[in-house]
Amino acid sequence: MVDIGDEAPDFTLPLAGGEAYNDIEPFTLSEAIPDGPTVLAFYPAAFTSGCTEEMCSFRDSMGLFDDLDAQVYGVSVDLPFSQNIWIRQEELNFPLLSDWDHEVIYDYDVVLEDMYGMLEVAERSVFVVDTDGVVTYKWVKEGDNPDFDELVGEVADAVAEVAEA
């Protein structure tokens, strides 16, 4: 299980940029982390109400993360083509990563095995990774969905601590 103080497991996934249906390029975490604190926001499934509310809370707070030179990435098992449609539909202002083969959700130990009793997806969770590749913040959903604006504020505070260090 990945925890605070651990080195974040590296990965390469398709990145959906949202400019077009096929706006897809490879993304490798270890190549991105030197550019500033990195937020990995795992969510179960695009186009669902809770996930839309969560990702839109990040969208609406991107100014906080931009001011801290932080990068935010949503991560799900959705295919990047559908992620691109969702980015455009919800006007998300950050990219999404497609863990379509479910390897990263296992590496981070955030597997929700029974969404709707039949799907294996990412468990709603957030990790902040510093520029050395170390996890400095971890949140995993327990029970009902939180107030997403409060959660995003807490994540921004965690990023600010990393940025000040």
What are 57-108's pLDDT values in tens digits? 999 999 999 999 999 999 999 999 999 999 999 999 999 999 999 999 999 9
Distance (Å, whole) CA 140 – CA 123: 7
CATH superfamily of 12-164: Glutaredoxin (3.40.30.10)
Distance (Å, whole) CA 80 – CA 83: 5
Token couple for 103: 């390897």
Question: Angle, to 10 degrees, between the axis of helix 80-90 and the axis of helix 49-60?
Answer: 60
Q: Cite the active site residues.
A: 51
Q: Which residues, including other chains, have CB under 8 Å from residue 84's CB and lie 6 or more apart?
A: 16, 17, 18, 19, 20, 21, 22, 23, 24
**Half-sphere exposure at residue 67, Cβ-oriented, CA atoms within 13 angstroms:** 7
Give the pTM: 0.94
pLDDT in tens, 1-25: 899 999 999 999 999 999 998 999 9
